[in-house]
Homo-oligomer: A and B are copies of this chain.
Amino acid sequence: MPARKTDRRSSSRRLEYIIIECVTPELDGGRYPVKRITGDTVIVGADLIKEGHDQLAARVLFRPPGDSEWSQSPMHFDYDRDRWYGAFTVDRIGRWSFTIEAWTDRFATWRAELRKKVDAGQEVQLELVEGAQLARAASRGTRSSAARASLLMTAKMLEDRRNTTIEKRIQRALDDDLLALMEEHARPNDLTRYRRELAITVDRERARFAAWYEMFPRSQIAPAVAKAAQRHGTFTDAAARLPRLADLGFDVVYLPPIHPIGETFRKGKNNSLTAEPGDVGSPWAIGNAHGGHTAIDPALGTIGDFDRFVATARDLGLEVALDYALQCSPDHPWVKEHPEWFHVRPDGSIKHAENPPKKYQDIVPINFWCDDRAALWNACRDVLRYWIEHGVKIFRVDNPHTKTFAFWEWVIHEVQREHPDVVFFAEAFTRPKRMKSLAKLGFTMSYTYFTWKNQWWELRDYLTELTQTAMVEYFRGNLFANTPDILNEYLVNGGRPAFRARLLLAGTLLPLYGIYSGFELCENVPVHPGSEEYLDSEKYQIRPRDYDAPENINADIRRLNEIRREVPALHWYDNLSFHTSENPTILFYRKAARAPLVQFPGSSPEPVPAEAAATLGLRPAAHGADVLVMVNTDPHHVQETMVHVPIHEMGLDDEQRYVVHDLLTGARYSWRGVRNYVRLDPAQQPGHLFVVER
């Protein structure tokens, strides 16, 4: 093994005039980018360390995507925290870089000392000559001839004991104009650059705020038609559903795979191992004689139909998200054309998926480290390019944790280099560290454990982890209330009140949330008791629905999405905090009016102090009102509680009355002080969504 001696390496380290450390935002020592949205102000923090009493100065260097030169922004010192802060706004999407430079402000140091000596009545003749030397050095460094002339004249004056009075010379030395001139033109002789360039992935707003709706296009056919015609829903049928989704206020329509479905070992209804004639199969078994990942299931229509579907959605303000499921049915064209991209067994057969002793013979996994890796990875990337050309900019990635992580980092970067507006959504239900890792290496947003968090303390703990730890720098949870794979027992047992409560939670806890169709109808019959699979799951058969069936919660959805768009506090990710509810079955949380500025040195949250924010010229912009949410997590019983409103954090006095306005019902209540009464009947109302009026 190569043995680079540590001693040699350390000795050759470049000497640093100034130590620059604890830089934020920085993820895993700069290994991964942090994430932001266009328009965000990035607050950069750093500790600068130098011996003695010299005055330091520093700036943030930042480089927007595509620029080859650094831009810069000054840093300011926060005395109480012994820390420096700078800021810049990321005004376009793509990969930004930043770093920090620090140096000694020799002129300011000299000037401050001069002032103290003058104030103490000390002799300063020599000091003035030293000031002249500084001015002269600055004059040599500048390209501005006007500045050079002014600096040289100043230098002459400062050392001119004959013709200028000491008072005048001191006055010139302490002149604010001279300070400004020196700050602009003096070149530091100890400029120190932070040893790392850090990256920021800047996404469009849709990456942080969106309401998602998942639907199988093949089911988008009226039950009567389906029964009468015995036919499969098409893109044309699905397009006809889009106005309804736009009316409900969704932003993204996500389609499970739309490609030709394998015949070999096709799954039958309710996941049976043998398909009956006419069974449509699972769309995740991708590929047959009609094509693979860039083809369309003929039963759904043509690529032209798909293009029209996308166009219809766009016209309605909806964006289409596609599934990106990197696996193949045994009938996928790649299996014949590129058997080397799969795991070939000693008898020449292609290995199917398995988790011994279970076999998944309808699927063959891709061998990402095969000898023909470069061609395979390019082909996988080209699938994305194909759909991007057809107007798709959001990909929901199926089970990314079962594919090579290095591939994801590569392909996301490859695609976003050309198309920085492309969003990748990781569907990884796996161990926490793997989910975090996928988010770090590039996934724009991620599924979460939300479906399994139904008790108040689970919600409080989990959402606090998502929003109040270093995870906010890279992990954007999208709270799906259900999926085709997950029908939680809370919904099974709780019925309609449970669906309403979960909708309200999903749509207010985080700015990203979603439902899978059927949720609005409170569909909750599992394939067998205790299972999280639906009976007659749409994964294996067509499920036409009457979306206006009785007991639907369309009105809840429409109103929630309307409120979400209106209320800025529901657009931010890190402004969530939980507060005391004396009966915690009623969960109580606040979405703060102004997104707090948070920075994370290491992993401990460090809010930027008000002073620093002020120093940086960050206006405490009045971003709408505070939102207070109370949700009754018990779908069966009326619950009542006293909630403890964080009035001091909200800038309210103990005696001050304030009005809480329930945007769900329109009701207004006059509250005062910390403790206030709440009663929620699940049969009537899942919770309150209050904005605080003054």
A residues whose Cβ falls under 8 Å from a Cβ of B: 1, 3-7, 10-11, 13, 15-17, 19, 21-22, 28-31, 47, 49-53, 61, 63, 67-70, 82, 95, 97, 112-113, 116-117, 119-120, 122, 126, 129-130, 133, 190, 195, 197, 199, 345-347, 349, 354-357, 369, 401-406, 409-410, 413-414, 417, 431-434, 437, 441, 470, 602-604
State how many angstroms separate the Cβ of A427 from the closest Cβ of chain B.
Answer: 14
Cβ A405 vs Cβ B604 within 8 A: no
Counted per complex, copies of this chain come to 2
State how many angstroms separate the Cβ of A158 from the closest Cβ of chain B.
Answer: 11
State how many angstroms separate the Cβ of A461 from the closest Cβ of chain B.
Answer: 16
Supply 23 A–B pairs (Cβ within 8 Å), ascending by A: A3-B67, A3-B70, A6-B95, A6-B199, A7-B95, A7-B417, A11-B413, A17-B406, A21-B28, A28-B29, A47-B433, A51-B405, A113-B354, A117-B356, A119-B357, A122-B356, A122-B357, A126-B346, A126-B347, A129-B346, A129-B347, A130-B346, A602-B603
List of B residues within 8 angstroms of A356 by Cβ:
112-113, 116-117, 120, 122
How many Å lie between the Cα of A417 and that of B9 in the bound state? 12
Cβ B197 vs Cβ A6 within 8 A: yes
List of B residues within 8 angstroms of A119 by Cβ:
357
List of B residues within 8 angstroms of A117 by Cβ:
356-357
* Contacting residue for A50 out of B29, B122, B405, CB 8 A: B405
Cβ A369 vs Cβ B17 within 8 A: yes
Cβ A52 vs Cβ B402 within 8 A: yes
Cβ A401 vs Cβ B51 within 8 A: yes
Cβ B3 vs Cβ A126 within 8 A: no
List of B residues within 8 angstroms of A47 by Cβ:
433
Cβ A19 vs Cβ B126 within 8 A: no
List of B residues within 8 angstroms of A346 by Cβ:
126, 129-130, 133
List of B residues within 8 angstroms of A126 by Cβ:
345-347, 349
List of B residues within 8 angstroms of A403 by Cβ:
51
State how many angstroms separate the Cβ of A83 from the closest Cβ of chain B.
Answer: 8
- Besides A15-B410, A113-B356, 20 new A-B residue pairs in contact (Cβ under 8 A), listed by A number: A1-B69, A3-B68, A5-B68, A6-B63, A10-B413, A11-B413, A11-B417, A19-B441, A21-B437, A29-B30, A49-B434, A51-B402, A51-B403, A52-B401, A52-B402, A113-B354, A126-B347, A126-B349, A602-B602, A603-B603
